[in-house]
Amino acid sequence: MIHDIKVFNPQGELLKVINGQKQMDLHYSAIAKSIAQSNWGIAANKNKKNVICSICKKELEGTANQITCKSTKCLRERVKVRLRYVSSLKGKQILPFTNKIICKECGKTVMKQSARAKYCSKKCANTFTGRINRKKNREIRISIGGAC
C-alpha cells in the first residue's frame, strides 16, 4: 500500500492530495503497455495464442501449433486418438490383391495388397522373424563369449 502524497506550498499549506496507489497503478499499466509494444514484447506474444485442448477442452495460452494443454494425460490421450484415426483411415482403404509375392517363409506364391509384402500370412512372418531373432541372439551370445 502506498500512502497518499500530500503536496504543500512553501508556506506549509496543503495544496493537494495525490492518491499514491492510483498513481502507481497508472504508472505500471503505462509501463506494461509500452513493453507490449516494444520488439521484445511483440516477440514474446507473437507465438502465443489461445489454444483449446482437443482432449479436455480446457482453454489456455499456448503456441500456434499446440493441440493439447500438454498435460501428460492429454498428451497420452492425443496419441491414442491419433493412432485410432490413422488405423481407421487404413481400414477404409481397400486395395485390390494384385501383387504376386513369394512368401519368404514357406515359398508359397500369394496375391497381396502390398507389393512389399514378404509373407503369405502373419504366421509365416512371425515364424520367419522369430528365426531371425533366434539367429541374432545366437550371434550376440557367440560374440560375447568370444570377447570373454
Residues in contact with Zn ion by CB under 5 A are 53, 55-56, 68-69, 74, 103, 105-106, 120, 124
DSSP 93: -
By beta-carbon proximity to Zn ion, the closer residue of 38 and 126 is: 126
* Max Cα-Cα span within the chain: 113
Residue where the block lists cell 512389399? 116
Q: Which three cell numbers stand for residue 51?
A: 489454444
> Beta strands 5-8 and 59-62: pairing type?
unpaired
By beta-carbon proximity to Zn ion, the closer residue of 20 and 128 is: 128
By beta-carbon proximity to Zn ion, the closer residue of 21 and 114 is: 114
Residue where the block lists cell 482437443? 54
CB of 66 to Zn ion, least distance (A): 10
By beta-carbon proximity to Zn ion, the closer residue of 20 and 127 is: 127
Contact between 105 and 119 (Cβ < 8 Å): yes
> Beta strands 59-62 and 49-52: pairing type?
antiparallel
